[in-house]
Each structure stands twice: as C-alpha cells, then as structure tokens.
Amino acid sequence: MSWLPSLGWGAWLALAIPPLAIVLFYFLKIRRPPVLVPSTLLWTRTIEDFNANSLWQRFRHQVLLYLQLLAVGLIILAALRPGCRGTDLGGDRFVLLIDNSASMAATDVKPSRLDRAKQEAERIVDNMKPRDVAMVISFSDIAAVEQSYTANKSRLKSVVRSIQQSDRYSDLTEALKLATGLSNVGQTSDRESKIDIQVAESLDATAFVLSDGGFARLPDVLLGKLKLDFRPMGDATVFRNVGIVACQLSTLPELNGPIQLFVRLENFSPSTESIDVSVEINGQLCDAKQGVSLATEESTSIILDLAPFIDTAKLPAIVRVSISPNDDLMVDNEAHALLAPVDKVKMVVVSALPSILSKVLTTAKVLEAAEVEFHEPSWLDSTEYQQRVAARQFDVILYDQCAPKDLPNCNTIFFDSVPPANDWSASELQFPAPIVFSSRYHPLVSNLALADVLFLEAREITGPVGTVSLIESTFGAMIAIGPRGEFEDLVIGFPLQKLAADGTTEMVTNWPTRPSFPTFFYNLLTYQVRHGPQRSNDPIPPGQPIALATSSVAASELVIERPDGSRVSTPIGNSGQISFEDTDQLGVYRKVDGSIRQPAFVVNLASSEESNIRPRDSIDVSYQSIAGKAVDRDVQRELWPWLVTLTLIVLGIEWYVYIRRIKA
C-alpha cells in the first residue's frame, strides 16, 4: 500500500479539521431530556470507572458519530489516493490479436495454446480500466474482426471464448493491417499512395499478439501509432512434434509408370524421436515403416512406389499417410494424396492452313495434356460449333487468320486476327518487325529463346485495359494477352504463313523452325492447365481457393462435401466452373452428384512453419524484433474509487440508523 501524493503539514492539519468538527458538532447538537431519578448514587458509581476519562465515556455507543467519522475518514483516505501494486496494460485502446492457426492446437500447454491464448486475453480484458476499449481480431493466414472497439468486458470475453481453432497457416500480416487500419484511422491503406485523406485523429493503441510466433512470412506493415506487445504461447521446454511436411503423388496414372508417393517428415522436437509411418490406400493398409529415427530438427524423405497397390482402372484412389506416436500437434500427423484421372485440355484449332499447327499440336507431349481438334474456318458458321461452344466443351479455341462472330465462353487464341470486340484492334502489317522486348515474367513466353527468330512483318496489337504485352517490336506489341471476364484472349499479330498470289503458301517468319515454337505451344497448354479448372491431383494448403469444373452441362450448382461431412453447394457460372473457397479443413473433399461421391481434391497442412511449434522468443515485424514478455508492467493501482463507494455505503447506513432513531 502506498500513498500519493505525500502531504505537507498544512494539508494534514486541514484533513484533521473535518473529523474534529464532526465530533464538536456532534456533542453540540445533543439535547438531553432531563429525567428525574430518586438518586444518582448508583448511576455515579456505575460510570465512575469512566469518570477519569469522561470524554471517552461520551464516545461510547455513539453509532452515528462513529459512522460519520468513518465516512470522513474514508474520504480523507480517498483524497490521499491510496494504491496498491498492480499491473497495467499501458494505454487505453487495445487490440487483441489471437492466433488460431494450426500450430495453436499444440497441447504442450494444457489444454492447448489457443485456450491459453484465450485465458491470457481474458486476463488482459480483466486488467482493463473502466474506460479502456479493446477489439478482438482472430487470425491465421486471414484475419477476422471478431469484435470491434468496445469497453464491454463481458462482451469481449465472450467473443474471445468463442474463437475457434482452425487448420490454416499463420500469417500476422493481414491481422496487423486490420489493426493498424483501425487504429491509424484516416490513412489510406496504400502505402505508396500520395493521397492521404485525414478523416480523424489517429490514436495510440496497443496490440497484444497472442501467438506462438510461427509465421509463414515476416509481416511488413507500417505500424504507425500501433504498439505491439507479443505474448508468446507455448512451453519451450516440453514441446514435442514430428510432422508430415510434404505428401505428394508424383506421376500420372495414364502412363502406366511408377506411382511414387513422396512423404517428407521433419522432427521439430528438442530430442530425437522414433516414429512409425503407415500408408493406407482407400482405407486399406498397404505399407508401413517402423522406428524411423529422427534427430532434432532433422528431416527425412520416404518414397514409396504405390503402383502395385493401385489399380489404375479403379481410380480415384485416396492415399492416407499417418505417423505415430501422438505428439503435441496432431493435425500434421496425417496427410492425404489423391490419385484421380486428370481431364485433358480440350483445344480446337480453326485454320485454313493447319499444316504447321497440326505438326506442333499433335506431338506426344502435347497429347498427354490435351485433346486437339482441327476445323476449317467455315466450321464457325455450323450449328455444331454453336452447340458445342454453348455446351462449354472447349477450354481454348485457336482462330488462325479467322474470327468468330461472337467470342465463345472459353479462352481464345487469335493468329493474325483480332477478337470481335471493340477494344481489340490491329494495325496493318508492318515491315520489318524485329523483336525488341520479350516478357520475362509471363509464363507463356518467359523461358522462350527468341534470339534467332525473325519476323518479316507483323501487326501492332492493342487491347482492352489490363492487356499485357508479351512480345514487342519497334512499333509496339506483336503478341498481347488481355482479360475478358473470367477468360483470356491471346492475340498474335502475325500469320505463321500466308497464301501467295499464285496460291502457294509462303512463310512470314522462321519461328516454326525454331525450338521455341513448340515450347510456346506447350506453355500454352500448361498455362491452360494451371489457370483453368482444377486438373491436378496435387494437395492444396488449407484455405486456398480452388477452381473446380463440372462435367454436367445441365447442372446449375456444384455440391462439395467437406471432410467433416458438411456439404457446400455453389452456383456454377457461365464458364462451367466454380471457385471453391471453403477449404479450411484438412482431408479429402468430394464432389457430390446425387448419390455419387467422387473425391475432388485433398487439403494437407504440409507446412514446415506450422509444424515447427517451437515457441518463438520474439517476432520480427517491419524489420524490428519484438521480444515476447509474459507479464504486464507493475503500476500503482488506484483504490480511491472503492473508498468513495464505501463512503457512500457508510453514509447510507448512517442515514438508516438516524431514521430509525427518530422513529423510535
């Protein structure tokens, strides 16, 4: 207990006056009714013990006096600002950033790191002063404002308790952006923007990061007036974890080659661990390894040939890999891989001179990934074309020196022609057309060797907003790709060959004779694979959206069953695809079509950062290291509000006693 501030003699004397005045007035106000008695002899003897100190005798049993003195004493005490040692959060606006990523499910601290973070958050809320406000943000690789700024402690604690564990990766960046955006109000979120409209005064705020610190990337956020306070969760002395950090099938079943399962294990425990690995295919145990010894921070890879165990005629097959014994983090002790037939890219080439294209698009490499049809330009007017385009049977259509009346609902490639849209245009053929620029970043042309490629003539291509120039000549873009809703149009401003006046074909460029030409078309197909609907069996990380296509033209929605059995139906767009985003759970997701449940994709944690549950001592934010601390700073905690409250209660009792005396 301490007192603030220390008083001088004058102040002490001034404080002594009120109680003395009360005593004085108390005795002045007493009117004693005279009572005639036979003799005061016995009364005198009764109180003669107190005659030596008659003042004290008068003090006895004066309840009102005591209550009044007590009230004044309490007020004096309150004026002295008594306090006791306590903890202070430092500030009056707080942001509770609670990590609910996969690693927070670790049970090295009981019941779990997330529960411990919630307890710490509730303790912080309890330590808030009455007018302090706080907000709650839960974060993994995404951040959610669970509760905006409020001083309602019960509400804050209720929200904190309701935060659920997720299986996603951990990334503080989004949460910090949210926190800084809400604390540094009036600033634009774009750091590069010169426009900064000040709409309100920024206020200081303290953000408590309740996390184990295992972030996938270092946050680089301008904190402004936001002060970070890192509260590390976890016990650095007892944690144990061995995780599956990679699980993948490495080949396509159509090749009838080896089906290799690649599993990578890593030991994050501070001691050597011996683990057992088991592999199941469609629920049947097919292989196991016992006693795989892993030293601390050591990893090992396991490669299994699953071809003997998988009948490629009965695909799909679900491969489940699990390790034992149990450790502090269970979600990385299991991983899945999916082996399913992959849909090929459906490509149509509409060309009057298909000789060169047919050669390059009928190679074995191309046919592994695509089915290619060739048609004359007159086919564009046929009913078949219209019906098949309407039925979304093509992924990409290549128009060589021709163009459709309307753009189809798929990706397109135009050779020496432009899409029938106002925002695309092409100039006349210009000569010469040397290559002066080639994009190093776009996957279509990034790895092409074009040094020995010559173009006699080419057109300058201009496209809609968002069009990217892939190859440029002195006059402008020769090859450009532009967006069209959910599709892309690739426009190439030169013909591969053209008809001469005598009816023969003549080459305009030597590109078809160079190695970069088939590479360009292979890139074209793989680009379709990667950017089209899901055609790969590769596992995806939790939370990552995935594009899914339906084979049913008539279906209006696609139903996906999640690993926990819940189903999500999503309307299918014009493209026949959906973008599925509810991939929070780890495991196998299935397409549901009536009674048929077909595995669609798998979600694995497979993250070295999440499996590494070693609690971090500090976190790096914007290149600053913020050390973790477990306790709040000691402060003087004021007690005067309680004393004033007590004074009011005492005065209430005094009034009650007084009323009772009057009535008596």
Partner 1 sequence: MTTFLDSERLLSPELIGQLERMELVSRKIFRGQVRGERRSKRKGQSVELADFRNYVPGDDPRFIDWNSFARLDRLFLKLFQEEEDLHFYCLVDSSPSMQFGEPTKYFYARQLAAALGYIGLIRSDRVKIEPICTEIAQPAPILRGRSSLWRLLQQLQSWQPGPAISLETSLRQFVSRNTNKGVVVLISDLMDRAGYESAVKYLVTRNFDIYVIQVLARAEIDPDVTGDIRLVDCEDNSTMDVSVSPWLIDRYKQTLARFLRHASEYFGKRSITYFMTTTDRPLEQLIGGYLRQRGLVR
Residues near partner 1 (CB under 8 A) are: 30, 32-47, 58, 60-62
CB of 74 to partner 1, least distance (A): 25
Strand intervals (E) in 233-296: 242-249, 260-267, 273-281, 284-294
Tokens encoding 500: 């001469």
Q: Which of 414, 416, 412, 438 is nearest to 428 (CA)?
A: 416
SS (H, E, C) 321-361: EEEECCCCCCCCCEEEEEECCCCCEEEEEEECCCHHHHHHC
- SS3 state of residue 488: strand
Rounded CA gap, 529 and 522, in Å? 11
From residue 102, alpha-carbon distances to 112, 141, 322, 337, 413 in Å are: 11, 10, 17, 19, 43
CB of 57 to partner 1, least distance (A): 8
Give kind and range of the element (H or E) at residue 305.
strand 299-305
Q: How many CB atoms sit inside 10 A of residue 238's CB?
A: 11
**In this structure, what DSSP letter does residue 255 have?**
G
Q: What is the dihedral of CA 510, 516, 518, 522, to 10 degrees?
A: -150
Rounded CA gap, 197 and 186, in Å? 6
CB of 44 to partner 1, least distance (A): 7
Give kind and range of the element (H or E) at residue 528.
helix 516-531
Tokens encoding 110: 């009981």
Tokens encoding 51: 């005659």
**In this structure, what DSSP letter does residue 39 have?**
-
CB of 647 to partner 1, least distance (A): 26
Q: Which residue has the tokens 């005064």?
A: 201
In this structure, are strands 2-3 and 624-627 parallel, antiparallel, or unpaired?
unpaired
From residue 316, alpha-carbon distances to 46, 285, 367 in Å are: 106, 17, 22
Contacts of 495 (CB under 8 A, 6+ apart): 400, 401, 415, 416, 508
DSSP assignment of 571-638, as one string? Answer: E--TTSEEEE----S-EEEEEEETTEEEEEEEE----HHHH--PPPSEEEETTEEEEB-SSPEEEEEE
Buried b / exposed e over 550-581, threshold 16 CB at 10 Å, is beeeeeeebbbbbbeeeebeeebeebbbbebe
Buried b / exposed e over 607-645, threshold 16 CB at 10 Å, is bbbbbbbbbbeebebeeeebebeeebeeeeebbbeebee
